[in-house]
Amino acid sequence: GMVFQDFRLLQDRSVYENVAFTMRVTGMAAREIRKRVPLTLELVGLKDKLFKKPSELSGGEQQRVSLARAIVNRPAMVIADEPTGNLDPATSLEILNLLQEINIRGTTVIVATHARDLVDRLQKRVICLDQGYVISDRERGVYLHAR
C-alpha cells in the first residue's frame, strides 16, 4: 500500500468509495468490500465519516483516508511518502501512531521523510540516503543530516 503526502484522494467520491476503490480494482468481492471498508475506517478513526467527500474533511482526516486505502487490502508493506508533510504537529503524531499500530499488527511500514521529530520519535531502523546512496543504517536510529 502507498500513502502520499498529498493524499491523492478521488475528490468526487466519498470516504467509503475512496477506500473501496482499491478493493474493486483488485477484483475483491462486494461482500468483502462491505465488510472490510468500515472496519478499516474504524481502525483509522473515521467510521463516522463514511459518506463525506474529501473536501469536507480536514487534512489529517484526508491523510487517514489515504492510510485506510493503503491498508484495506492487507498488504505486506506500506510505503508512506512524507505522510505528515502537510499536517500540523498534533495531527502528525496521530498519523505516526496509526503507522505504528499498523506495524504492530504485522505490516512492514517504510516512511520516507525529512521530519527530524518524526524519525526521532519512532526509534526504529533509520536508513539515511544521500543522492541515492546509503550513508548510514542504524537499527534504532535518529535523524542524521546528509553530509
Residue by residue, pLDDT tens for the chain (147 residues) are 999 989 999 999 999 999 999 999 999 999 999 999 999 999 999 999 999 999 999 999 999 999 999 999 999 999 999 998 888 888 888 889 999 999 999 999 999 988 888 888 888 899 988 999 999 898 887 776 654
Longest distance between any two alpha carbons in the chain, whole Å:
52
Q: Which of 83, 70, 78 is nearest to 114 (CA)?
A: 83
41 domain-assigned:
yes
Q: In this predicted structure, what is the pLDDT of residue 89? A: 87
For residue 20, the domain's CATH number is 3.40.50.300
Neighbours of 119 (CB within 10 A): 18
40 domain-assigned:
yes
CA distance 10 to 24: 14
Q: Which domain holds residue 50?
A: 2-113
Q: In this predicted structure, what is the pLDDT of residue 145? A: 60
* Grid coordinates of 101: 499500530
138 domain-assigned:
no
Contact between 113 and 107 (Cβ < 8 Å): no
Tally of domains within the chain: 1
Q: In this predicted structure, what is the pLDDT of residue 88? A: 87
133 domain-assigned:
no
131 domain-assigned:
no
